[in-house]
Amino acid sequence: MKHPEVAALMAKLYFDETTAKAVLIRAGYPVHLLPLFLDASSFWTSGIQQMELGLGAPDTLPQLIALTAATFQGNPEIQAMHAKWSGTTPPRRPYTEGPWHTLTLVGADLPNEFLRVVREQVASDAPELLYTANRQCSVSVPDPGRYAARLRQRIHEAIQAYAPGVSLQVTYENHRFRPYLYSELTVYGPDTTPYLLQSVPSVMTPADIADAIVGQYPHDLVSTVVDAETDDGRERLDPGKTLHENKIKDSGKLWVSARASAGGLSPDDGSAPIRILVLATEWFSAHGGLSTVNRRLCQALAVAGAEVYCVVLSASEEEQADATASGVRLIKAKRLFGSSEQEALSRRPRLPDGVVPHLIIGHGRITGRAAAVVADDHFDGVPRLHILHMAPDEVEWLKLDRKNDAGLSAEERMKEERALLRPPAIAAGIGPRLRDLVQAELSPFPNAPEPVHIDPGFDTDRTTPRTPPRGRPVRVLLLGRMEDRLVKGVDVAARALANAVDLLGFDASRVELVLRGVPKDEFTEVRAAVHAWSGKRSLRVTPRSYTVDSEELEHDLLRATLVLMPSRAEGFGLVGMEAIVAATPVLVSDASGLADLVREVVPDEVHRLVVPVTDDEEKDAQRWGAAIAAVLRDPEGAFAVAERVRTAMGKERTWLMAAHAVLRMIG
């Protein structure tokens, strides 16, 4: 073997099968003759020997070294080797000519497939593979201009076909230098434990490194201390700049601590991703479905490549950790003594220095008013998206706790929503029902932007086929905030379940109605009301308090043979959506946005899922009773239907699609 030093260095730099084979193919090595990968050393020894014997083009070995020098620009060994082979002088620093427009795939080892997809989408062979790391690769592209978000979406959809069921992320960035890899970095955690990181992208920031090492930092990663070890001691790094911009050397040493502030971000205006500022009241869903939509949309926007900042009134350590793990930065609203929640949300949020959002999002009248104030007073000219979550004219009439006239309350709340929806705001509705309402409300404004259509996502990692729960009693589940019992149709469920028991000839005690979401001081009252509505005191009724514990809610769904959503008015119906995602049989009211979406996506299954609510007590009891009896009579068949519906909905409606719907209006 003439060049053992080449094989040894390649084994050090390309130590995993995917990256090793990818670079050999790029260098011109015949794909069908690639060596068997048992370990990096034997793979590269065999590959280099074959090239020395003439396998591949004459310049395959020099091309391999040149490609590796470009990928690991800061590694002195490969730079010296490249200089020797090419007769040039090794560069003192990685070259920084720019701009470099890049698309990066995270989540799967598909470098060659990703390069092919990018070239197909831009209709050019100009894109080149910049680097391949563990489950990540980056490709250069011609300047996409204002169509960057659209291009990223198309490429994400195309590459996803190569990894169905895998959560992939595609991001677009514009760098002032050619992205490359550090062969290795040693990072010391807060307790001085050393971690060896290999094939580290130069576009990572010290904040990214800290998050990877510590895992659960306070939500504002800009506060993380990251130092580099230099000849003159430790030097504090800018956590918002890239490792390259911080002048980190290959094989360098970094020290991470969470004890003090490391300064503010200094974003590069030419390379900043789309920044979105979202106003919410909470991260976890202590107060219902609006918070669930907000959290999942924020998470999807982050996955889609946006830089997401979410303002909340307060956040526990658990909420901060959850948001950080999702790529979302929680920002606590500045609340002075005696100020209201709206006043706190309306103040200028404490964003990192230099960060200006490209879009501000408000949710209904809950945070929409504050979003309008923030946009108008603090970020003049930044577009605002107002998302409608409910229809006051439908819901207010059915609430039990209204001191004022229901009609007056509905009028006032709808008037507020109209004011927030109208131009210059960009309007959106959650699901088909509210989308149609938004379009109707914007009729007086012919020049209003087209409303954004946001359908909640049904994508899930759960793919195990479901079977009916074993044992007794048979559980029928109704989820929701039960203080609005008439809105949620608890009385409809009670009468219908009694009718179903009669149709089946069951003893009423054989069936248990679980009510998740009952106020803690109303258990006895709600239980008595259900018995009165059903006319069967032997019916097992189990009130359960409202919870934000996702595991507990998931277990509720997995224990249930059937979920009911007999709402009299439901803008969308997240409860029914959760049941579909869990592949638990569900019956939903036709007075819901979810029913409309089911009609759009799985029209053949509508008769098995959607049931009318008419407020004719006898007819509703009979229709819903018959539908409930059909499920309880054949639970195996009902679960098979639920599995088909979950698969179809999960394919056609995902949270990432919802995020792209939002991003398209920017790009």
If residue 170 lies in a helix (H) or strand (E), which one and from where to where? strand 169-175
Confirm whether 47 is domain-assigned: yes
**What was the pLDDT predicted at 265?**
29
CA distance 185 to 74: 11
Kindly state the tokens that stand for 221.
Answer: 């990663």
Do 384 and 404 lie in one domain? The reply is yes
Do 501 and 441 lie in one domain? The reply is no
Confirm whether 415 is domain-assigned: yes
Distances (CA, A) of 145 to 126, 142, 203: 16, 9, 21
CA distance 579 to 13: 47
Q: What confidence tens digit (pLDDT) does each residue in 429-471 have?
A: 999 999 999 999 999 998 888 889 899 999 887 778 899 999 9
Do 297 and 330 lie in one domain? The reply is yes
Q: SS in 3 state form for 499-529? A: HHHHHHCCCHHHEEEEEEEECCCCHHHHHHH
CA distance 141 to 161: 21
**What was the pLDDT predicted at 263?**
29
CA distance 436 to 197: 51
Do 301 and 164 lie in one domain? The reply is no
Residue 307 pairs with which residues in a beta bridge? 275
Residue 542 pairs with which residues in a beta bridge? 514
The total number of structural domains that make up the chain: 5
Do 128 and 187 lie in one domain? The reply is no
**What residue type is assigned to position 403 of the chain?**
K
CA distance 252 to 194: 12
Distances (CA, A) of 658 to 169, 180, 496: 14, 32, 35
| 570 secondary structure, DSSP code | B
Do 144 and 238 lie in one domain? The reply is no
Among 533, 502, 507, smallest CA distance to 625 is for: 502
H helical segments located in 505-633: 523-534, 550-559, 574-581, 593-601, 606-609, 617-633
Those residues with Cβ within 8 angstroms of residue 540's Cβ, 6 or more apart along the chain or in another chain? 473, 508, 509, 511, 512, 513
Kindly state the tokens that stand for 232.
Answer: 């003159």
Do 104 and 39 lie in one domain? The reply is no
270: number of Cβ within 10 Å: 12
CA distance 585 to 560: 9
Do 284 and 395 lie in one domain? The reply is yes
Report yes or no: 447 and 472 within 8 Å, Cβ to Cβ.
Answer: no
Q: Determine the angle formed by the axes of helices 593-601 and 635-652, rounding to 10 degrees.
A: 80
At 628, which CATH number? 3.40.50.2000
- Long-range contact pairs involving 140-146 (C-beta distance under 8 Å, separation at least 24): 140/100, 140/101, 140/102, 140/178, 141/101, 141/102, 141/103, 142/101, 143/99, 143/101, 143/174, 144/101, 144/172, 146/667
At 169, which CATH number? 3.30.70.250
CA distance 279 to 427: 15
Q: Where are the beta strands (DSSP E) in 313-391?
A: 328-332, 359-363, 384-388
Confirm whether 467 is domain-assigned: no
Confirm whether 468 is domain-assigned: no
Among 666, 655, 648, 662, smallest CA distance to 169 is for: 655
CA distance 169 to 302: 9
Residue 430 pairs with which residues in a beta bridge? 454
Report yes or no: 162 and 183 within 8 Å, Cβ to Cβ.
Answer: no
- The domain boundary, picked from 142, 175, 208, lies at 175
Q: Tokens 């960060």 belong to which residue?
A: 355
CA distance 71 to 78: 10
Do 534 and 488 lie in one domain? The reply is yes
Whether pTM > 0.85 for this model: the answer is: no
507: number of Cβ within 10 Å: 12
Q: What confidence tens digit (pLDDT) does each residue in 378-422 have?
A: 999 899 999 999 887 665 545 545 556 656 777 888 889 999 999
Length of the chain: 667
Confirm whether 223 is domain-assigned: yes
Do 489 and 607 lie in one domain? The reply is yes
**pLDDT < 50: residue spans in the chain:** 216-224, 258-272, 397, 400
**What was the pLDDT predicted at 43?**
94
Q: Tokens 């076909």 belong to which residue?
A: 161
Confirm whether 123 is domain-assigned: yes
Instruction: Tell the burial category of 398 from Cβ atoms under 10 Å away from its Cβ (0-12, 13-18, 19+).
Output: middle
Those residues with Cβ within 8 angstroms of residue 213's Cβ, 6 or more apart along the chain or in another chain? 187, 189, 195, 256
If residue 485 lies in a helix (H) or strand (E), which one and from where to where? helix 485-488
At 237, which CATH number? 3.10.20.90
Q: How far apart are the first and last CA of the chain?
A: 54
The DSSP line for 15-72 is: -SHHHHHHHHHHHT--GGGPPP-SSHHHHHHHHHHHHHTT-S-TTHHHHHHHHHHHHT
Distances (CA, A) of 249 to 90, 236, 476: 15, 14, 61
- The domain boundary, picked from 153, 175, 197, lies at 175
- The domain boundary, picked from 86, 108, 142, lies at 86
Confirm whether 73 is domain-assigned: yes
**What was the pLDDT predicted at 494?**
97
Do 345 and 237 lie in one domain? The reply is no
**What was the pLDDT predicted at 90?**
60
CA distance 225 to 149: 32
CA distance 196 to 193: 10
Confirm whether 188 is domain-assigned: yes
For CA atoms 463, 170, 95, 116, the dihedral sign is positive
Provide the domain limits for residue 567: 474-652
Do 445 and 356 lie in one domain? The reply is yes
**What was the pLDDT predicted at 393?**
66
